[in-house]
Structure 1
Amino acid sequence: MRFTPFDASEFLDSEEAIAEYLAAALDDPDPELFIAALGDVAKARGMAQIAREAGLGRESLYKALTPGSKLRYETVRKVMDVLGVKLTVATGSS
């Protein structure tokens, strides 16, 4: 039996799936999970296209979305704007 590595980006094929995936990643206290999820979404949509539309270099975007990077809010905002998703704030009781 052969196994292939799981690639979440292959399953992020709708706006709803992307929004739910990013929301689930934000629920985890580990910020690395959100960075990885954002990278998966960018990969699903085409990293080069996302980078171009966000005004970033493709290599810079890959580096920014690598675990351990010091991702800046400005970069997160640009990528999320291109992806058509936004962060929202709610009380902890929701």
Structure 2
Amino acid sequence: MVPRSTAEFTAEDEGKHVLAPDGEMVGEVVRTEDGTAFVRACPELLAGYGSRLTGCWDPSGVFALDESAVTSDAEGHIQIKPAERPEPDTLQRTR
């Protein structure tokens, strides 16, 4: 797999599967426009990865993929990073 930087998405990315860090498919790139990839999400696999898609989630819609969430790009698929979790010391206590 090739590491992905902040390169723009192209028509060559259309049809690629978007994979979670564990390899499960969370969606497919259905179109690209102005360097942005638009993904149709798999509703049953999206749990926990919604933060990697911009905008409100609607199972009938397509969403812009946050290119900063992409770790690698290979023929046929795009891999996204695991969700970032704050360090325990940075959590604030609420009452």
Structure with larger RCO (C-alpha < 8 A, sep 6+): 2
Same fold? TM cut 0.5: no
- Normalised TM-score (structure 2): 0.26
Greater helix share, structure number: 1
- Normalised TM-score (structure 1): 0.27
Greater strand share, structure number: 2
